[in-house]
Amino acid sequence: MNHYQKLLRIQTTGKSLTRITSQVEAIVAESGIELGLCTLFLRHTSASLLIQENADPDVLIDLENFFAQLVPESGDYVHSAEGLDDMPAHIRTALTHTSEHIPISRGRLVLGTWQGIYIWEHRQRRHGRELVVHVSS
C-alpha cells in the first residue's frame, strides 16, 4: 500500500465557504497514485469540510442562510470564552463534517460534475486553517 500526505494551510476570510478543490486535486496529482482514496481531515472544531455545488453560488448562500437560522449566533450559550460566535461555530461543525473521503481513479478525484470541496469557516473573523490531505492506494 502506498501513502502520500501533505498539510494544506488555508487562510479563510471569515464566515464563508472557501473552495479548495484545485489545491486538493494538485496534491492528488503530486502523489502519483492512480487508484485509491483521498482522505481529508480539517484540524479544527469551528470550521468544517463540505462537498457541495460548485456552479451556482446561490446554493452556498442558501446553505449559509439556513445554518444561520438553525444555529443563531445570539443563542443562550454558556461557552463564550473565545467570543460570541465561537459556540455557534462549534455546533455548526458538529452538524457537518471535519473529514471527507473521495475515491481516486486514473490519478484524479472522482467528484461529480457539479461537486466542489470547501472549507466552511463558521467564525466571523479570518482564520488560518490546516487540512491534512492523505492519499493512499
Q: How confident is the chain (137 residues) per 10-residue block, as mean pLDDT?
A: 97 96 98 98 98 95 96 90 92 97 98 97 96 98
Q: CATH number of the domain that 102 lies in?
A: 2.60.120.460
User: For residue 74, what are the domain limits?
Assistant: 3-136
Residue 74's pLDDT is: 87
**Is this structure's pTM higher than 0.85?**
yes
Number of domains comprising the chain: 1
Residue 128's pLDDT is: 97
What is d(CA 105, CA 108) in angstroms, rounded to the nearest whole number?
5
State the distance between the two ends of the chain, measured CA to CA, in whole angstroms.
6
Residue 118's pLDDT is: 98
